[in-house]
A and B are shown apart, each in its own frame.
Chain A
Amino acid sequence: MLEVQNLTRRFGERTVLHDVSFSVPANGMTGFVGANGAGKTTTMRIIMGVLKAHGGQVNFNGSPIADGDRARFGYMPEERGLYPKQQVLDQLQYLGQLHGMSRLDARSGALDLLDRFGIADRTKDKLESLSLGNQQRVQVAASLMHHPTALILDEPFSGLDPIAVDAMSSLLAERAATGVPILFSSHQLDLIDQLCDNLVVLADGKIVASGSAGELRDRAKSTHVLVTPPDAGWLREQPEVTVHDVAGPRAVVEFASEEAAQRILRTAIVRGSVTEFAPQRPSLAEIYREVIR
Chain B
Amino acid sequence: MSTATQTTTPTATPTAVRQGSPWLIVTLREVTVKIRDKSFVISTLITLALIVGSIVVSGFMADRTTEATVAFENRGETAVLVSAANELAAKQDQKIVLTADPVASQDAALEALRTKNADLVLTATADGYSLTGLSDVPGSVEKLIADAASAQALESNAGKLGTSVESLTAGSTITPVLLEGSQERNSMSMVMGFIFSFLFYMSALIFGMPIANSVVEEKQNRVVEILATAIPIRQLLAGKILGNLILAMGQLCLFVGIGLLALSMMPTEIPFLSVVIATSGWFLAFFLAGFLILAAIWAAIGAMASRVEDLQQSTGPVIMVLVAVLFIGIYAKGTFLVIASYVPVISSVAMPIRLLSTDVPMWEPFASLAIAIAAAWAMVLLGERIYRRAIMQTGSALSWRKALKLED
**A residues bordering B, Cβ < 8 Å?**
45, 48-52, 60-61, 67, 69-73, 75, 77-84, 86, 94-95, 97-102, 105, 108-109, 112, 142-143, 146-149, 174, 177-180
Q: Decide: A50 and B225 in contact? CB cutoff 8 A.
A: yes
Q: Decide: A67 and B16 in contact? CB cutoff 8 A.
A: no
Q: Which residues of A contact B11 (CB under 8 A)?
A: 108, 112
Which residue of B has the minimal Cβ distance to A83? B223
Contact of A179 among B3, B16, B222, B232 (CB under 8 A): B3
Which residue of B has the minimal Cβ distance to A149? B2
Q: Which residues of B contact A60 (CB under 8 A)?
A: 2
Q: Which residues of B contact A84 (CB under 8 A)?
A: 221
Q: Which residues of B contact A69 (CB under 8 A)?
A: 1-2
Q: Decide: B8 and A146 in contact? CB cutoff 8 A.
A: no
Indicate if B408 sits at the interface (CB-CB under 8 A): yes
Q: Decide: B222 and A102 in contact? CB cutoff 8 A.
A: no
Q: Decide: B229 and A49 in contact? CB cutoff 8 A.
A: yes
Q: Decide: B15 and A178 in contact? CB cutoff 8 A.
A: no
Distance from A122 Cβ to chain B, minimum over Cβ atoms (Å): 19
- Which of the listed residues B7, B8, B221, B227 has the most CB atoms from chain A within 10 Å of its own CB? B221
Cα(A48)–Cα(B26), bound, Å: 21
Q: Decide: A147 and B15 in contact? CB cutoff 8 A.
A: yes
Give the B interface residue count (CB, 8 A): 38
* A to B CB contacts below 8 Å, 17 in the list: A45-B225, A49-B228, A50-B228, A52-B407, A71-B229, A79-B222, A80-B222, A94-B29, A95-B226, A101-B15, A102-B16, A112-B11, A142-B226, A146-B15, A147-B5, A148-B5, A179-B3
The 4 closest A-B pairs by CB, nearest first: A81-B221, A81-B222, A100-B18, A77-B225
Which residue of B has the minimal Cβ distance to A154? B225
Q: Which residues of B contact A174 (CB under 8 A)?
A: 8
Cα(A83)–Cα(B17), bound, Å: 25
Q: Decide: B25 and A72 in contact? CB cutoff 8 A.
A: no
Distance from B305 Cβ to chain A, minimum over Cβ atoms (Å): 16
Distance from B235 Cβ to chain A, minimum over Cβ atoms (Å): 9
Q: Decide: B5 and A48 in contact? CB cutoff 8 A.
A: no
Q: Which residues of B contact A149 (CB under 8 A)?
A: 2, 5, 15
Which residue of B has the minimal Cβ distance to A99? B230
Query: Known interface pairs A50-B228, A98-B22. Does A81 touch B223 (Cβ–Cβ under 8 Å)?
Result: yes
Query: Residue-by-residue, is B3-23 near A (CB-CB < 8 Å gives 1, otherwise 0)?
Result: 101111101111111110010
Indicate if B367 sits at the interface (CB-CB under 8 A): no
Q: Decide: B227 and A98 in contact? CB cutoff 8 A.
A: yes
Which residue of B has the minimal Cβ distance to A84? B221
Which residue of B has the minimal Cβ distance to A104? B13
Indicate if B57 sits at the interface (CB-CB under 8 A): no
Q: Decide: B7 and A61 in contact? CB cutoff 8 A.
A: no
Query: Known interface pairs A80-B222, A97-B25. Does A147 touch B229 (Cβ–Cβ under 8 Å)?
Result: no
Cα(A82)–Cα(B18), bound, Å: 22
Contact of A72 among B15, B221, B225 (CB under 8 A): B15
